[in-house]
Structure 1
Amino acid sequence: MRSELYFQSSPWWILVCLAAGAAYAFALYQHRKDWDKRIQYALAALRFVAVSVICFLLINPLVRSVTTSTEKPKVVLAIDNSESMTAAGREQLTQTLNALDQVRQQLADQGVEVAVQTLGDSTVNGDLNQVKFTQRSTNLSDLLNNIRSNYEGRNLTDVVLVSDGITNQGVSPTFGRYNFGIHTLGVGDTIPKRDIQIRDAVANRLAYLGNQFPVQVDVASYGFQGKSATVVLRQNGRELSRQTVNFNRAETFQSVNFQATATQKGVQHLVAEITPQSGEFTTRNNRRDVYIDVIDGKEKILLLALAPHPDIKAIRSIIEKNQNYELDIRILNAGNADIPDKVYDLVILHQLPDNGNLGLPTVQRVLAKTTPVLFIVGNQTSVQALNAVNPVMQISASGGQLDKVAGRFNADFRQLNLDANKLGLLERMPPVSVPFGDYQLKPASQVVVWQQVGSVKTSKPLLALNLTGPRKAAILAGEGLWEWRLEEFAQTDKQEIIDELLQKVMQLISVKEDRRKLRVYPSRNEFLTGEKVALETEMYNDIYERLYDRPVRLEITSEKAITRTFTYTPTEANSRFEVSNLPDGVYKFRATASLNGKTETANGEFIVRELQLEALNTTADHLLLRQLSQQTGGKFYNTATLASLATDLQNRKPTGRLTSSEQLNELINLRWLFFLILALAGIEWGLRKYFGGY
């Protein structure tokens, strides 16, 4: 360590400090004639030094300390601990790990720090045979990026990547940029194995009760030319269908299509399997799981219109984009309409109530229930009757006159996740016809789109809604929606922005409000085997204030009717409960809790899915490892050349890196100066007392 002294004022002040010390000593000891001269000079010297040091500290000098250290070179052994690494046998892998242990020891003897890191950003400090090759996926790019991040700014010179080169997640590591050399050690067999596998099983995530849905199974084979196998589709152990596939070439890929029927409500678990063949390398990839969410019917919408209109076709196109909707369109005929006897989730009234009151009885019958309503105003709408039946706004029309306006999205509307930048398109749309007059929002109503006349921004709503009260409702105060959709297509070659706006408004007013006081739901619908299943818990009192610290009993039941029971207490700091070690399958859960003297219940289901990524490809890819080493200035090794790895790393002569740190402190903060002054004063006082001084 090297230290230097810096002054915040002129160094000439040192002379003043010395003069002060000398003056103090002279004034104190010049009159003592009864002491020996040597004693007198010694005491004067002690006082001189003590006073000079104290005065010197008063000018507040600084001490600059520079510390230089040598940082040892570092090498990281990055081990791919995925399941595919054991495909060639654990014995060969153990031999490789033992050889790596010797390399690690040789490098440590040469003064090189060696660390071990595996997938998942975990480290290994002991024997490498402690590494468990249980990772269900391989992301080498993520492994190398974690090393780069963890050792940023440190003297990392080389990384030794031990892998079979098989990646099934993330981007290829060859696309990354690394500031260290990567030496790769290839393990595994690069010769393709004789194998039959189901690459994928694809089906719609959603199906409706009683409907048929397709399941496509992709089958690949290698080395079974002239053979055949059977693909079977099962549900709960019951065979639904089977088909035979023939392998005409040494390497084949083909798709098999099944048709299944949705017979039960809820998540259904189907299994596609292919019969094992003699000589297969592994049968782990002969099965794939398929999960279908079967729902009981679609959300029903009634579109009731006064007369045919181009807007009706536009609304129909918007609604039919969503497969969860079932639309009935009825046009009034002499004031009547044959409305199906259904319970609707949303009613759309186009130009109703009308000026002639032709559809008044039908409208009254529809509005007798508290079904959510979307009113679309047209030139035949009776504004007075509309004001009487809608909870959104009051329109004071002037003699049936119409106005032409464009739309301007209300950026302050936060109920929906809408892109304000995209909805700037509304200002470039053709004007729609709206009643001319004053518009006044009713309490709790919110504006989604304002009216804009040319470039003039107005405070009149064009599209508004109200989510309070017994009936949720929205009003689109103009007709001409069909022109908007055509113009959007002309400008963007798509019909997405206007459609998304109307779809989300309809979803918002038709969604059923959840008034349950106990809500337990999974953080997501699907989890992977080995992951923790996280369940969120919400509890409320009678006025729907959040409650905590009430015990919850949770029952989780698997497809095999095996039930696990848990009891937990959510708190304000942690309302999540996690369950580990659930095998793959569909699980139903039931949660109960006593709230306000009543037992509240919440039900649901989730999926635990097994992704057999490591079984899909068991052929080592040493070409990728060679390319990675070549790009980063490293070298490729295999089990036969592993012995030269330590020698090559030593020959690269990784050197330690000198690092220096600088520290600037006030001299008065040095503790030894305090003890120096104390010692000088103490010695002087002791000598004075000893020689009879006062």
Structure 2
Amino acid sequence: MTTETIFYILIAGVISIALAVFMYGYKSKQKGLLAWVFGALRFISIFSILLLLINPKFKSETYTIEKPKLPVLVDNSESISELDQSQNVSELLEKIKNNKELNNKFDLSYFSFGSDFRKIESLTFDDKNTNISKALSSANEIFKNEVAPIILISDGNQTLGSDYEFSSATSKNPIYPVILGDSVQHIDLKISQLNTNRYAFLKNQFPVEVIVNYTGPTPVNTEFIVNQGASSVYRTNVSFSNNETSKTINFTLSANSVGLQKYSAQIFPLSDEKNKTNNSKYFAVEVIDQATNVLVVSNITHPDLGALKKAITSNERRTITFKKPFEAVTVLNDYQLVILYQPDRNFATVYSEIEKLNKNTWVFSGLQTDWHFLNVAQNNFIKEASTQTEDVQAKVNSNYGTFAFDDIGFYDFPPLYTEFGTLSVTVANEEMLGQTVSGISNGNPLLATMEVNGKRNAIWDGEGFWRWRARNFVNTNSFKEFDDFIGNIVQYLASNKRRTRLEVSSETFYYNNNPIKISAQYFDKNYVFDNRASLNIKIRNTETDELTIFPMLLRNNYFEVDLNSLAAGEYKFTVSTTDESIKSSGDFTILDFNVEQQFLNANVSKLNRVAVNTSGKAYFASQSDALIDLLIADTNYQNIERSEQKVVPLIDWKYLLALIVLALVSEWFIRKYNGLI
């Protein structure tokens, strides 16, 4: 309270006394005790009201005791049950929860993790993946400004996410791993990796690479075999020793039948192997009898052409050929799609032949495009070009409905170069990307697709998109997103399939430890994407004949369903609408693969390093009492007394208002009682 406020309170007191004396001590009819009572009550009323007007402020201070936090992170993945550690986890949690000293010293919280990180509701040990890195980073984020040592109950075997040994180095709090499992190295043969192409062409050979590892003290001999159905398609003998514990087996298989071909690879187990589930892997290859052949016609050399080649050939089913205009005329009929890069007058005969053959085209225009020629050579679009150049960036059209595609961060990509002028598409079309200049749309399409009389075409107005592919790699450490974007456009343009109102996209096979998703697009009668539609998918297991129905959820400009709840097996599906009798069917196979069953023991060395790097200490489950005693005895973890100071204005003090009311009411009753009213 300031000196000025105290001065005002003193003045208020003097004024209140003066008024009370004037009213009941000077020329007052009341004498004796009654005058003193009325004077005191009037003083209280006036002084309290003046205090409210002055409204002095008082400081109040409260103290609270805050315990240090102790998050307990429990591994809920299948590897815990595979290592027979479920009972140890339950007993350890009960021991921690029932220890009074530990609970008196710490504020405990319990979390479980597998693929995701969550508060413990129940432990089922059925998560298909383990992401220890995510669990540790989430705990550090929740308790980033607090003293919070972490108890990590896990076998240390991670199947998902970044390396938790390095991510844990940023932890400000010590980590105390409780190791589930033992460090004994059991004899084990396993297929650690199998690589093959996703697609193969009919009558061709496709390569397979298999990496087989051995853990054990003595040399062993075994056999590696690949089966297709009941027949063996490849086999070889394999030997291991103390010095040679890993072998890479390379071989080729023949693609003799069209369709999905399923195989099983197996390394025959040893008689005393404990874990035999990691001795086999399943894989599948889709054999197709036709590749997509793309012809690029260009009269110039440009980095864009290299980006196109890399993006298109990232899919083994596609080939790309480059020709000059005079070379391309005679071979156009050998290709499903013709890409015309920056056409000029040399393309005149090419355009004439394309018109005769009714070929699908994709035109790329830029600073070297002859628009006077191009405007006459075709009827799909026209541009009033000038000699000036313009830098444009891309804006995604979220309502594009011809096919589904992802926004790969176009807003962040470098500008493309084009000639200044208005570009008009003169036929029915859909704009995928629009042009913006300094963030403002100029009304021109950057990329648009069109379909006229069964012929598919596209226009891309801007050169320099090779920088987009490079920027995508900088952002994601991969070219995949850009390559998939170009691949989707090529797939659409290279097909002469008639467009349907319900288009479904699915994989031929899935691994059950990866996302299993099917997407669909539904269009109204004008072929405009209808986001009001209601789609369902019926899934039938061909082995058990079990039928399941799922609703498909709307995701931007497509519908999607997550089928990860399905078991491994072969399925047929039908996507249908609830309002109209429009359906689309297909089939897929889910291949069984449980990565959590591949571990024989705990990763003791890594958990020990995590403990050392964070100034903690690792314990086995049987040593849990020592961990609890250490945490209780550690003087670094003490209760913290926190004080909180509040400034409270007198006007918020309700008792003063009650005092004013009481004084005025008392005076009124006394007057009434004495007949003065």
Q: TM-score range by the shorter chain?
A: 0.7 to 0.9
Q: 1:344: Cα distance to partner? A: 2.7
Give identity over the alignment, percent: 19
Letter in 2 for 1:624: K
- Give the counterpart of 2:128 among 136, 139, 157: 136
TM-score (norm. length: structure 1): 0.74
1:662-687, Cα deviation, whole Å (9 max, x unpaired): 33343212333322222222222222
1:526-580, Cα deviation, whole Å (9 max, x unpaired): 8764788555565443235554665544222446474523164868999655445
1:423-456, Cα deviation, whole Å (9 max, x unpaired): 67979xxxxxx9xxx9774456999999xxxxxx
Query: Does the CA-based 8 Å contact 1:139-1:168 persist in structure 2?
Result: yes
Cα separation, partners in 2 of 1:42 and 1:133, compared to 1, 3 Å: same
Cα separation, partners in 2 of 1:686 and 1:638, compared to 1, 3 Å: same
Alignment pair present for 1:121 and 2:117: yes
Q: What is aligned with 2:64?
A: 69
1:76-102, Cα deviation, whole Å (9 max, x unpaired): 333333333345534xx6357535633
Query: Does the CA-based 8 Å contact 1:284-1:615 persist in structure 2?
Result: yes
Cα separation, partners in 2 of 1:278 and 1:346, compared to 1, 3 Å: same
Q: What is aligned with 1:192?
A: 185
- Give the counterpart of 2:603 among 608, 611, 621: 621
Q: 1:373: Cα distance to partner? A: 4.9
Letter in 2 for 1:255: T
Secondary structure of the structure 1 residue equivalent to 2:662: helix
Q: What is aligned with 1:581?
A: 565
Q: 1:590: Cα distance to partner? A: 1.7
Q: Distance in 1 between matches of 2:112 and 2:634?
A: 25
Query: Does the CA-based 8 Å contact 1:76-1:116 persist in structure 2?
Result: yes
Q: Distance in 2 between matches of 1:88 and 1:365?
A: 65
Cα separation, partners in 2 of 1:338 and 1:575, compared to 1, 3 Å: closer
Q: What is aligned with 1:254?
A: 247
Query: Does the CA-based 8 Å contact 2:345-2:373 persist in structure 1?
Result: no
Cα separation, partners in 2 of 1:685 and 1:629, compared to 1, 3 Å: same
RMSD: 5.0
Letter in 1 for 2:150: V
1:283-331, Cα deviation, whole Å (9 max, x unpaired): 11122232435555333334568xxx67599969954761443456777
Q: Distance in 1 between matches of 2:171 and 2:369?
A: 69
Cα separation, partners in 2 of 1:162 and 1:677, compared to 1, 3 Å: same
Q: 1:19: Cα distance to partner? A: 3.5
Q: 1:475: Cα distance to partner? A: 8.3
Query: Does the CA-based 8 Å contact 1:270-1:291 persist in structure 2?
Result: yes
Q: 1:652: Cα distance to partner? A: 1.2
Secondary structure of the structure 1 residue equivalent to 2:245: strand
Cα separation, partners in 2 of 1:352 and 1:631, compared to 1, 3 Å: closer
Secondary structure of the structure 2 residue equivalent to 1:107: helix
Q: 1:223: Cα distance to partner? A: 2.9
Letter in 2 for 1:472: N
Query: Does the CA-based 8 Å contact 2:187-2:215 persist in structure 1?
Result: yes
- Give the counterpart of 2:647 among 642, 664, 670: 664
Q: What is aligned with 1:374?
A: 363
Q: Distance in 2 between matches of 1:599 and 1:501?
A: 32
Cα separation, partners in 2 of 1:100 and 1:26, compared to 1, 3 Å: same
1:182-225, Cα deviation, whole Å (9 max, x unpaired): 23333322121111111111112333355432222221222385
Q: 1:147: Cα distance to partner? A: 2.0
Secondary structure of the structure 1 residue equivalent to 2:352: helix
Query: Does the CA-based 8 Å contact 1:390-1:473 persist in structure 2?
Result: no
Alignment pair present for 1:685 and 2:674: no
1:209-259, Cα deviation, whole Å (9 max, x unpaired): 554322222212223855433333344x34351313322414621122343
Alignment pair present for 1:14 and 2:4: no
Query: Does the CA-based 8 Å contact 1:537-1:576 persist in structure 2?
Result: yes
Cα separation, partners in 2 of 1:37 and 1:152, compared to 1, 3 Å: farther
Letter in 1 for 2:106: V
Q: Distance in 1 between matches of 2:306 and 2:139?
A: 54
Q: 1:44: Cα distance to partner? A: 1.8
Aligned pairs for 1:316-465 within 5 A = 319=309, 322=313, 323-327=316-320, 338-339=330-331, 341=333, 344-346=336-338, 348=340, 359=349, 363-364=352-353, 366-367=355-356, 369=358, 371-374=360-363, 387-393=376-382, 409-412=391-394, 441-443=423-425
- Give the counterpart of 2:42 among 47, 66, 75: 47
Query: Does the CA-based 8 Å contact 1:391-1:466 persist in structure 2?
Result: no
Deviates more, 1:674-683 or 1:109-118: 109-118
Letter in 1 for 2:158: T
Cα separation, partners in 2 of 1:678 and 1:317, compared to 1, 3 Å: closer
Secondary structure of the structure 1 residue equivalent to 2:655: helix
Alignment pair present for 1:271 and 2:255: no
Query: Does the CA-based 8 Å contact 2:336-2:494 persist in structure 1?
Result: no
Query: Does the CA-based 8 Å contact 1:518-1:601 persist in structure 2?
Result: yes
Letter in 1 for 2:182: D
Cα separation, partners in 2 of 1:408 and 1:605, compared to 1, 3 Å: farther
Query: Does the CA-based 8 Å contact 1:302-1:327 persist in structure 2?
Result: yes
Q: 1:630: Cα distance to partner? A: 2.7
Q: 1:591: Cα distance to partner? A: 0.7
Q: What is aligned with 1:591?
A: 575
Q: What is aligned with 1:492?
A: none
Query: Does the CA-based 8 Å contact 1:300-1:343 persist in structure 2?
Result: yes
Secondary structure of the structure 1 residue equivalent to 2:642: strand
Deviates more, 1:261-270 or 1:370-379: 370-379
Letter in 2 for 1:117: F
1:604-626, Cα deviation, whole Å (9 max, x unpaired): 56665655333333233323333
Secondary structure of the structure 2 residue equivalent to 1:280: coil
1:18-43, Cα deviation, whole Å (9 max, x unpaired): 24433443344346866452222122
Q: Distance in 2 between matches of 1:332 and 1:532?
A: 45
Larger Rg: 1
Letter in 1 for 2:13: L
1:366-422, Cα deviation, whole Å (9 max, x unpaired): 35626225388999989558624353446899xxxxx9x9x7652256589687998
Q: Distance in 2 between matches of 1:280 and 1:302?
A: 55
TM-score (norm. length: structure 2): 0.76
Letter in 2 for 1:54: I
Query: Does the CA-based 8 Å contact 1:555-1:590 persist in structure 2?
Result: yes
Query: Does the CA-based 8 Å contact 1:69-1:660 persist in structure 2?
Result: yes
Deviates more, 1:138-147 or 1:212-221: 138-147
Query: Does the CA-based 8 Å contact 1:267-1:586 persist in structure 2?
Result: no
Cα separation, partners in 2 of 1:50 and 1:376, compared to 1, 3 Å: closer
Letter in 2 for 1:659: R
Q: What is aligned with 1:646?
A: 628
- Give the counterpart of 2:582 among 581, 586, 600: 600
Alignment pair present for 1:60 and 2:43: no
Cα separation, partners in 2 of 1:591 and 1:384, compared to 1, 3 Å: closer
Q: What is aligned with 2:439?
A: none
Letter in 1 for 2:392: N
Cα separation, partners in 2 of 1:319 and 1:172, compared to 1, 3 Å: closer
Q: Distance in 2 between matches of 1:638 and 1:214?
A: 44
Letter in 2 for 1:116: Y
Query: Does the CA-based 8 Å contact 1:521-1:604 persist in structure 2?
Result: no
Secondary structure of the structure 2 residue equivalent to 1:644: helix
Q: What is aligned with 2:280?
A: 287
Unaligned runs of 5+ in 1: 398-402, 428-433, 451-458, 489-495
Q: What is aligned with 1:172?
A: 164
